[in-house]
Structure 1
Amino acid sequence: MLQHRPLVFALAVALAAGVISPQSHAAKKPATGKSKTPVASLACTDFYAEANRSWLGANPMPKSGAVSALGQLTARAQQQQRDLLDAAMRAPQGKVQQLLGDFWASGLDEAAVEKDGAAPVAPLLQRIDAIRKTGDIAPALAALHQVGIPVAFGFNADIDLRDLDRHLGYFSQGGLGLPDPAYYTRSDADTKALVSRYADYMRKILALTGVAKKDIETQTALALDLETRIARATRPLAELRDPRNNFAPVATAGLGKQYKNLQLDAFLKAQGVSDDSVSLANPALFEQLDSLVGKLKPAQWQAYLRWRVGDAMAPYLSRPWRDAAFDFRGKVLLGQTEPAPRWQQVLDAINLAAGPMLGKEYAATYLPDASRKQAELIAGHVRDALIHAIDDGTLLDAAGKAEARKKLEHLRIEIGTPHRDLDFTVQPMGRGSFGGNMLIASTWRHAQEMKRIGKGNADRRWDVLPQQPALAYDLAHNRLIVTAAMLQAPVLDPSQVPAQQYGAFGALVGHELSHAMDARGRHVDADGNVRDWWSNDVANHWTALTNKVAALYASLPYPGTNGVKVSASLTSDENLADLAGVELAHAALLTAQPKPSTAQERQFFNGWAQLWAQQVASDEAQIRAQQDVRAPGQWRANVPLMQQPAFGTAYACKTGTPMAPASRIDVFR
C-alpha cells in the first residue's frame, strides 16, 4: 500500500523507551543472617546492574531474542492505541474518532472480512480491465498511485536540497514486488529458488483476482517479465543510500513531451501537484518505462497491474489472500513462523493508511498539558546548557562558535504532535468493508502527502507519528522532535522527581542536540544551507575526540557473546552522543537546581541508567554486535556516567574503581 520515502535528512535517531523501576534499591534491607555488599561498592562496580536490579529480576533472560525497557514503552503505546480505538468504536467523540472507530471495527470483524472477499479491489481490477490501448496505460498508473498503490515507479514528497524550507516531488524507482532489484537478474541457485517461490505467490494472487486457471501461467510470465524489465533499468540499492544520488531537479514543463507514453504531466495533475520542478534522478529508468508502455501489449500491463494491486491489498482481504501473502512475504522473506495477531495487523494497517488521524486523537488523549510543558522546560534548559558549553569550551573555534550559537538560538522544539494542518475531509468509512476502508484511508493519506509539495511546507512534516515513541533531532530543519508517546515512564514520568526527569528525558535531549554540532550537523548551517561550517582545525579536534571515544568502547566486552568486543566503527557516533547527552543534561540540572543534594544527584544518574535495562539472549547479542549502531545497554548506562565527576562523589567511589576512572572524556565541557 502507501509507501513513504524517508526524509533526505532523516530524523537523526528514534529512541523508544520503556518501564523502569524508580524506587531506591539502597532502601532494601538484607535478609537476616546474610551478608550484603554495600550499595556504594555495587554502584561503583557496575551501576547498570545496581540501578536495574529489580527490572532485571522481574524480566528473566528470554530463550531467544530480547526484552528491554525500551521495548516496553512501545508495547504500552500500542496498548494505548488499542484502548483509544476500542473507545472510538463504542462511543466516538467527534468526526475523526467516528472514522477511526469504524475502521477498527471493520478490521476486527473477521467474519465480515471473509464475506467481503475480493470486493474491495473489484473497482481497481475493473479499471485495469478497461485498458484497451497504449493511451489507457498511463492514466491507470496515475489512478493507482492516487489510492496509495505505487506501480511502475515511485513518486513521493521529500526535501528539496536547494531549499530546505520546501518539499519537492521525487520520481524514483519502484513498482517491484521483490525487495532488491538484483533478485530479478542474479543466476545463483538460491536466488533462482527465491524467484521460483515468488512466481508461485504471483500465481496464487492472480488466481484470486479472477484470472482463469488456463491463463495463470501466461499471466504470471507476463507480470514477472515486466517486473524484470523494470528491474534491469533500476540502480543497485547501495547507490540509493546517498541522498544526493536521488536528487536531480528538472522542470515539469517538459515532462509530457519527454515521456509521451507515461504522460508524466498528466500524472502530476492527477496527484494534485502543480510545482514547477520535480526530481528525476534516473532518467534511463523512465526512458525504459516510457518505451515499455509504448511497445508492450496492453495485456502485459494488465497482468502486471492485476498482480501489483493484488499483492498490495492481500494483507487486508479475506484469509486466502492473507495466507498467500504471509506464506511468501512473512515466511520466505522475513523468516516469520506465524502471522501477527489480528489486532496487531489491523492496528498496523490503520497506522499505515490513517496514522496522522490516530496521532491526533492519541495526543489529545494521552499527552497531559503538564507533561508537554515540563518537556519544553527541560529541553530548553538542555539547549541553553549546550550554548554555554559551546561558548566556554575549546571544541569549536570562534567562527564555529558563532555558527553553533546561531543554530541553537534558532532551534525549534516541537512536542507531542507536528505543527501541521491536515484536512480530515474523508469519505465515510462504515463498518462493512475493511479493505474498502483501507483504500479510502490510503487515498486520503496520499493526498495529504502530495499537499506537502511546494514552497514553505517543509517544516510542517514529521517522519514519525505522534503515537510512536520517538525523540529526534531533525537536521534539515533544525528541530527537536518529541512525540506524544515518548512522554511517559521512564522517559518523562510525571511521578518522578525532576532530577530523574533530567537524567532520563534531559539526557536523551542532549544526545539528540549534540547531532546539531557533530560530524553530521556540520553539513547544515544555521540558515539551513547545505555546507560545511567547520574549519579544518575543528574537524581535526573532533576526529581526535571520536578516536578517543572509539578506543574506550572498543575495549569493552559485548554482553552475551564469547570474546566479542563492542564495535567502535559501528557505534562511535552514538556513543559520543550518549556522553554528550549526560554531560549536557547534568549541566541543565545544575541550572534548575544549583546545589543538588546527594539524593538528587543519585536520582539523576538512576534516570539515565534505567532507560537501558535489557535482557538480550545470545543469538540476538551475536547479531547486534555485528549490526547495531548503539552500544549494549550495560555500556550505554555505565560509560557516560563514568565520565561525570559528580557520579563518583554521589556514590563515594574511589578513583580507579570501574565507575570512577582516573581519566575521563569531556565532549563539550
Structure 2
Amino acid sequence: MPTTRPLAFALIVALAAGSAAPDSLAAKKPAAKKKAPAVALACSDFHAEANKAWLTANPMPPSGAISALGQLTARAQQQQRELLDAAMQSPQGNVQKLLGDFWASGLDEAAVERDGANPVAPLLQRIDGIRKPKDVAPAIAALHQVGIPALFNFSADLDLRALDRHVGYFSQGGLGLPDPAYYSRSDADTQALIARYADYIRKILTLTGIPAQDLERETALVLDLEKRIAASARPLVELRDPRTNFAPVATAGLGKQYRNLQLDAFLKAQGVNDDTVSMANPAMFAQLDTLVGSLKPAQWKTYLRWRVGDAMAPHLAKPWRDAAFDFRGKILLGQTEPAPRWQQVLDAINLAAGPMLGREYAARYLPDATRQQAMAVASQVRDALQRNVDNSTWLGETAKQEARKKIGKMGIEIGTPKRDLDYTVQPMGRGSFGSNMLIASTWRHREEMKRIGRGNAERRWDVLPQQPALAYDLAHNRLIVTAAMLQAPVFDPAMPLANQYGAFGALVGHELSHAVDGRGRMIDAGGNVRDWWTGAEAAAWDATAQRVIALYDGLTYPQLPAIKVNGRLTRDENVADLAGLELARAAFVTAEPTGGTTADKAFYTGWAQVWAQQVTAEEAQRRSLQDVRAPGQWRTNAPIMQQAAFGSAYGCKVGTPMQPKPEARISVFH
C-alpha cells in the first residue's frame, strides 16, 4: 500500500455550522469558499474499496507478503493434506492406497530415522560394481531411470518442427551448483561458496560410507569431475531461448558416435524408441564421452555416489536432511529454517507422484457442476475474443481469418488433463519413505518418457491439477485451468454470475489474449511457427504496448513513494490484464445483457478481489526490480480505469483517478 493511505481520499470533512453564532454575525463575515467534495474511495482507489474487509482481516505481515491468491495456494495445500490423511486412514482404490502409504511413511519420522541410508544402499551397490570404463554408462542410465539425472539431463519436450509431438532432449546437467560459471570464477565470494560446497560434499560422502581418511581425496575427485563437466557447458543466458536448445538429430548412429556414453543403450533403458532426439551441444557430449573413456572408474564411482546422496538427502534420515538444508536451504536459498515435516513430505509426493495426487484431488474437490460452469464462462470469453478480433480496427482481413481459424480450434481443458496415466506401480508400503520416493520417481520418469513420440504431446500438462494455475498453452492452442484454481477468489459457483466473469472470466481473457497477441502471432492456426501479422499490424500492436508502458510508468509502486512501476518490465502482463478485463466485460454483457448497476459493481469487485494483497516495503523493493507483474493495486485499478462502465456503475466523474478522460483510455482490440 502507498504511504498515503487511500482511505484519506475518501474522508469527508464535516464543516461545523457554528450554531452558537447569531445569524446576523454570521452574515457580516465573508462567505467561506466551498471545499471541493472528497472523491469517493471507489473512484480514487478501487483496490482499497473492494478489498476493505480483506485488508482489515489481513494486516501487513512483519515481512514478505500476504495475498488472496497466496491464500488460495495455501488452501489447496491444506486440501491435499486432508486428502492424504483420508487416503492413509481409509483408502478408496489402488491410487489412494499408494498415496496413503507414501504419506504415512513420510510422516513417521521415527521410521525414517531407523531406515537411515537403507533406501540408497541398492543404488550405491550398483555403483560399487563399476570396474571398467564401459561399466560407467549403464550405471548412469540406471540412475536416470529412478529419477536421478547424472552427468547430463534427458527430458521430454516439444518438437519445434511439429508441435503435436515430443522428442527427447539431451541437455547439460550433472552439476551440484546451479550455474556452470561458479566452477571457473576466481573471485572471493565464489571461492567461499565453493568451500561451503566442498564441505557439503564431504558430509554426503561420509553418509554414503566413504572412510574419513579418504574424504579429502574423494571430495577433490567430485569437484574435479564437475569442473570438467562445467567447462563444456554453455552459459545459462544462452539457454533461455528454446530455439537455441533445439537441434534434432537422428537416434540411429548415436551409439557409434558416443561409444563410451552408449547413448543408444541409454535411450533403450529409458524406454525411448523414437527416431529423433534433440542435442543442441554435441561438443559437450563429445567431451563427456571422452571423460567416460579417460577418467579412472574410481573417480566415476565417487561422483555417482555423490549424485545419489545429493539427490536423495532431503528424503532420508535427519543427518542427510540437515546436510542438504545447511547448504541448499541456507546458503543457496537464504532460508532460515526447514519447512515443517508435513510440508517436506507433501513437496516430495508432488515431485515424485504429483499426477497421482492430482487425479485424486480433482475427484475430491472439483464437482462436475463447477467444472461445467467454469467451461461455460471460459467458452463465452473465447467467443468474445472472436468478436473483438472481428471488430478490430488494426487487424487486416488476412490476419482476422487466421485468428478466426485459431480461435475456432482453441481447446479448453478444465480440472485435469484429457488423457490419464498408467498407474501400475510397485507397491509401496509404509516401512521406508526413501524407498517409496525411489519407487514413485521411477514411475514418474517412466510416464514422462512416454511423452516422447508422435501424437503424445497433448497427453500431459506442465502443471499439476492440485496446483492453482490458469494458463494458455501456446504450442497446443489450449486453455488449461487446474482443479485447484477453481476456488475463491477466482471461481466459486456460489458467487453471483457477474463476479464469476469479473474474476475467472477476466483471468481467462488474460490468457486467451495470448493466442492473438505479440507472442501468439508467431504460431498459426495449423500449429506452424510463422509470423502471420503484417508489418503494419505489428506496428499497431507495438504502439498500443508503448501506451501501456507509459501508463504504468506513471504509477507509484505501493509502499515505495519514490519508485514507479516499471512499465517495460511488466508490459506483457499489463497488456494481457487490459485485454482480459476487456474480453470478460464483453462476454458478461452478452451473457447478462440486462445486468444493471448491481451486476456491474459485482463484475468489477470480482476482478479486484483476485488481487488483494499486502506487501512490505522491503518485499515491494525486491519485486519492483524483478517482478514481471504489476503490484495488486495496479493490476486491479489500471485495467478498470480503461472502462467507462466502471464510472457509470460507481458514479465516478471523468477526471477522477479511476476515470481518466476518454482519449487517455487504452483498448487492446478495438
Residue 152 (structure 1) aligns with: 151
The alpha carbon displacement at 1:39 in A equals: 11
CA contact (8 A) 2:69 2:489 kept: no
The alpha carbon displacement at 1:569 in A equals: 1.3
Residue 356 (structure 1) aligns with: 355
CA contact (8 A) 1:139 1:267 kept: yes
Answering whether residue 67 of structure 2 is matched by residue 68 of structure 1, we say yes
Change (3 A) 1:395 1:648: same
Residue 4 (structure 2) aligns with: none
Residue 666 (structure 1) aligns with: 667
The alpha carbon displacement at 1:311 in A equals: 0.2
Q: How does 1:376-415 map to 2 (within 5 A)?
A: 376-415=375-414
CA distance in 1, matches of 2:103, 2:133: 40
The alpha carbon displacement at 1:460 in A equals: 1.5
CA distance in 1, matches of 2:561, 2:580: 30
Residue 19 (structure 1) aligns with: none
Amino-acid identity (%): 73
The alpha carbon displacement at 1:395 in A equals: 2.7
CA distance in 2, matches of 1:528, 1:86: 43
Answering whether residue 198 of structure 2 is matched by residue 199 of structure 1, we say yes
Q: Where does structure 2 lack aligned partners over 5 or more consecutive residues?
A: 1-6, 17-35
Residue 453 (structure 1) aligns with: 452
The alpha carbon displacement at 1:33 in A equals: 14
Residue 606 (structure 1) aligns with: 605
Corresponding residue SS for 1:480: strand
CA deviation map 1:341-381 (0-9, x unaligned): 00000000000000000000000000011110011000010
Residue 280 (structure 1) aligns with: 279
Moved more, 390-399 or 473-482: 390-399
The alpha carbon displacement at 1:41 in A equals: 1.6
Q: How does 1:574-613 map to 2 (within 5 A)?
A: 574-613=573-612
CA distance in 1, matches of 2:500, 2:441: 38
What TM-score do the two structures reach when normalised by structure 2? Answer: 0.94
Q: Where does structure 1 lack aligned partners over 5 or more consecutive residues?
A: 1-24
Residue 5 (structure 1) aligns with: none
Q: How does 1:623-662 map to 2 (within 5 A)?
A: 623-662=622-661
Corresponding residue SS for 1:122: helix
Change (3 A) 1:39 1:120: farther
Q: How does 1:498-517 map to 2 (within 5 A)?
A: 498-517=497-516
CA contact (8 A) 2:502 2:602 kept: yes
The alpha carbon displacement at 1:421 in A equals: 2.5
Corresponding residue SS for 1:336: coil
The alpha carbon displacement at 1:42 in A equals: 1.6
Amino acid at match of 2:652: C
CA distance in 2, matches of 1:68, 1:397: 41
Amino acid at match of 1:313: M
Residue 214 (structure 2) aligns with: 215
The alpha carbon displacement at 1:70 in A equals: 1.2
CA distance in 1, matches of 2:153, 2:305: 17
The alpha carbon displacement at 1:77 in A equals: 0.1
Q: How does 1:249-648 map to 2 (within 5 A)?
A: 249-648=248-647
CA distance in 2, matches of 1:569, 1:306: 47
CA distance in 2, matches of 1:439, 1:581: 43
CA contact (8 A) 2:611 2:635 kept: yes
CA deviation map 1:314-357 (0-9, x unaligned): 00000000000000000000000000000000000000000000
Moved more, 442-451 or 394-403: 394-403
CA contact (8 A) 1:40 1:651 kept: no
CA distance in 1, matches of 2:653, 2:519: 37
Corresponding residue SS for 1:570: coil
What TM-score do the two structures reach when normalised by structure 1? Answer: 0.94
Corresponding residue SS for 1:519: coil
Residue 103 (structure 1) aligns with: 102
Residue 138 (structure 1) aligns with: 137
The alpha carbon displacement at 1:111 in A equals: 0.0
The alpha carbon displacement at 1:574 in A equals: 0.6
The alpha carbon displacement at 1:506 in A equals: 0.1
Moved more, 562-571 or 499-508: 562-571
CA RMSD of aligned residues (A): 1.5
Amino acid at match of 1:665: I
CA distance in 2, matches of 1:601, 1:209: 64
Amino acid at match of 2:97: Q
Moved over 6 A (4+): 37-40
Residue 25 (structure 2) aligns with: none
CA contact (8 A) 2:467 2:485 kept: yes
Residue 6 (structure 1) aligns with: none
Answering whether residue 47 of structure 2 is matched by residue 77 of structure 1, we say no
CA distance in 2, matches of 1:275, 1:631: 43
Answering whether residue 126 of structure 2 is matched by residue 166 of structure 1, we say no
The alpha carbon displacement at 1:38 in A equals: 10
The alpha carbon displacement at 1:419 in A equals: 1.0
The alpha carbon displacement at 1:468 in A equals: 0.2
Corresponding residue SS for 1:615: strand
CA contact (8 A) 2:39 2:656 kept: no
CA contact (8 A) 2:402 2:532 kept: yes
Q: How many residues align?
A: 638
CA distance in 2, matches of 1:460, 1:588: 30
CA distance in 1, matches of 2:299, 2:418: 45
The alpha carbon displacement at 1:459 in A equals: 1.3
CA deviation map 1:481-506 (0-9, x unaligned): 00000001111112111000000000
